[in-house]
Structure 1
Amino acid sequence: MGGAVERDGLPGWLLPVRDAAERVRPGQLSRFLPPPVGGRRSAVLMLFGEGGHGPDVLLIERARSLRSHAGQPSFPGGALDPEDGDPLREGPVNAALREAWEETGLDPAGVQVFGVLPDLYIPVSDFVVTPVLGWWRAPSPVGPVDPAEVAAVFRVPVAELTDPANRARLRHPSGFTGPAFLVAGQVVWGFTAGVIDRVLHFGGLERPWDTSRVVELSEDAFDLARRERGGLADSSGTAASGTADRTAGS
Structure 2
Amino acid sequence: MSAGDSQLWVPSRAPSWLSPLVDNVDRVPTAYLHGLPADVRAMLTAANNQANTQAAAGGNRRDAAVLVLFSGPPGAQPGMPPESADLLVTVRASTLRHHAGQAAFPGGAVDPEDTGPVATALREANEETGIDPGRVHPLVALEKIYIAPSGFQVVPVLAYSEDPGPVAAVDPAETASVARIPVRAFINPENRLMVYRDARSRRWAMPAFRLNDMLVWGFTAQVISAMLDVAGWAQPWDTTEVLGLDEAIAQVGGEGGI
- Give the TM-score, by structure 2 length: 0.78
Structure 1 residues 220 and 159, CA gap change in structure 2 (3 angstroms): closer
Aligned 8 A contact 2:31 2:230 in 1:
no
Q: 2:10 aligns with which of 6, 20, 27?
A: 6
Equivalent residue, structure 1, for 2:90: 60
Cα contact 2:192–2:238 (8 A) shared by 1: yes
For 2:238 and 2:17, locate their aligned partners in 1 and report how far apart those are by CA, in whole Å. 24
| 2:214 counterpart of 1:193 | no
Paired residues in the alignment total 215
Alignment of 1:1-250 (within 5 A): 3=5, 4-21=8-25, 23-24=26-27, 26-30=29-33, 31=44, 33=48, 34-38=51-55, 39-50=61-72, 53-85=83-115, 91-173=116-198, 174-175=200-201, 176-218=204-246
Which structure has greater helix proportion?
Answer: 2
- Could you tell me the percent identity over the aligned residues? 43
> What do the CA deviations read for 1:56-84 (whole angstroms, capped 9, x no partner)?
10000000000000000000000001111
Greater radius of gyration (CA): 2
**CA distance, structure 2, for counterparts of residue 105 and residue 170 of structure 1:** 31
Do 1:112 and 1:137's aligned partners in 2 also have CA atoms closer than 8 Å?
A: no
Cα distance between partner residues in 1 of 2:139 and 2:242 = 34
2:13 aligns to what SS in structure 1? coil
Aligned-pair CA distance for 1:212 = 1.0
What is the identity, as a one-letter code, of the residue corresponding to 1:209? W
State the match for 2:58 in structure 1.
none
Q: Please tell me whether the aligned partners of residues 66 and 157 of structure 2 are also in contact (alpha carbons under 8 angstroms).
A: yes
3-state SS of the aligned residue for 1:215?
strand
> Are the aligned partners of 1:164 and 1:210 in contact in 2 as well (CA < 8 Å)?
yes
- What is the CA deviation profile of residues 84-138 of structure 1, one whole-angstrom value per residue up to 9, with x for unaligned ones? 12xxxxx111101110001000101000111110010111110100011010133
**Structure 1 residue 11: Cα displacement:** 1.9
- The answer to whether the Cα contact below 8 Å between 1:71 and 1:221 also exists between their aligned partners in 2 is no
> What displacement does 1:214 show?
1.2
Deviant stretches of 4+, over 6 Å: 219-222
- List gaps (5 residues or longer) in structure 1: 86-90, 223-250
Q: How big is the shift at 1:25? A: 6.0
Alpha-carbon distance between aligned partners in 2 of 1:141 and 1:25, rounded to the nearest angstrom: 30
Q: Is the 8 A contact 2:13 2:139 kept in 1?
A: no
Distance in 2, matches of 1:148 and 1:97, equals 19
Q: TM-score, normalised by structure 1?
A: 0.80
- Is the contact between residue 215 and residue 248 of structure 2 (CA under 8 Å) also seen in structure 1? no
